[in-house]
Structure 1
Amino acid sequence: MLNWGNHAVHRSGVNAYSDGQFYSRRPVTADVLPSTVTRSYWTMKRWIVLPLSIGVVAMVYSCVTLRLSAEREYAAYDQLRAMGATGDDWISFTELITNRPPVVQIDIPASIPQGKSLALIRDMPNLEYVGLAYNKFSDSELDQLAGLSLHSIRFEGAFPSDSDANRLSRFRGLRFLTIPELNLSDESLAELRSVLPQCRVSVSVADESKREAEQ
């Protein structure tokens, strides 16, 4: 042991005495290395491996969810087309995962039962445009349509009439709304545009047969 004033140091380097205190100076030996490696392993696992594993699981789950949603969408689309509906799809990066382009628009004729068609379009989350040729809608059916992420709706039947203008105020997320020319009076059309200021409300021109029937 070396004596330097009030400092004493063992040559072994195991303990040191300084200012009345003993300090451990345990050298790094073979028995210390396993615990150091273990701590490093768990640190790496905690901050690198586990987050990466969670990310991979989340990505796989998202891909499976997208694929199942696409299968339901096309099952509904095929049923509607078999009953006379027409539609179109659009190119999207999700097609790389689902192998199916999203269906973005559909026109539904009055020959398809109304309850059936509205139930099927619930399974088509990518729809942006819907054309409907029905003559009336209940409040619950309008609420269902309003709950979809639609950009545009085209009514082609007797709906809406003058008494329905205020009922369409629930479609505040629409960008475009098209209604038949002879359905609304000028006053009701102005009321509809006032309750949907963010929506472009346009009127489709009626064919001659309908004009004659109305006259």
Structure 2
Amino acid sequence: MQGSAFMELLPDMLKAFYETLYMVGLSLIIAIVVGIPLGILLFISDRGLFAENRFVNQVLGVIANIIRSIPFLILLVLLLPFTQWLLGTTIGPTAAAVPLSVAAIPFYARLVESSLREVSKGVIEAAVAAGAKPWLIIREVLLPEAKPGIISGLTITAISLLGFSAMAGTVGGGGIGDLAIRFGYYRYDNQVLFTTVILLIVMVQIIQFIGDWAARKVDKR
């Protein structure tokens, strides 16, 4: 890719970069809003916890595991009718954010649940013995204690979504994956492919750096 060709492609690269940030950002927000409460519910409804409910725990666990077991590209195709019904289109970054969100929610919920399991049961039992209400235990004990793990889980989810968003480009989702397919693969331009790969690597490194920094910042241990 010569200099002039690169400059001609630069607006498309900037657009693809924005679309990827938009897709990942939107689905990450939805994963936080839904995934954290779902992860908390999975944890506190488990055996021996203060809100034990085996039925709820098993139903939510099965649903989460089913969604997580489906490869993203297949999930993307399966959700096309739902995306069409919800948004009236299956093309573009907003449409791609629908399957990205569906994939991210159970993935992040399981990471939140795993982080909560690292909280000392003695601390939880002490709060229960003191007569603390479930909401107070969640807000004042579980979330503060598990905060570093929750942030680390968010970092992992964001990086996974970045990879998923590239796959969304294969079905018209836009973003860096779409750019790589249209200009790199279809036009046999390896330099475009290499450029998009480098861009994704840089984005992953930035996300990982910010996530690690934030996790260390809130870790009081």
TM-score in terms of structure 2 length: 0.24
Q: Specify which structure has the bigger relative contact order, considering alpha-carbon pairs within 8 angstroms and separated by 6 or more residues.
A: 2
- The structure whose residues are more often strand, as a share, is 1
Larger C-alpha radius of gyration, 1 or 2?
A: 1
- The structure whose residues are more often helix, as a share, is 2
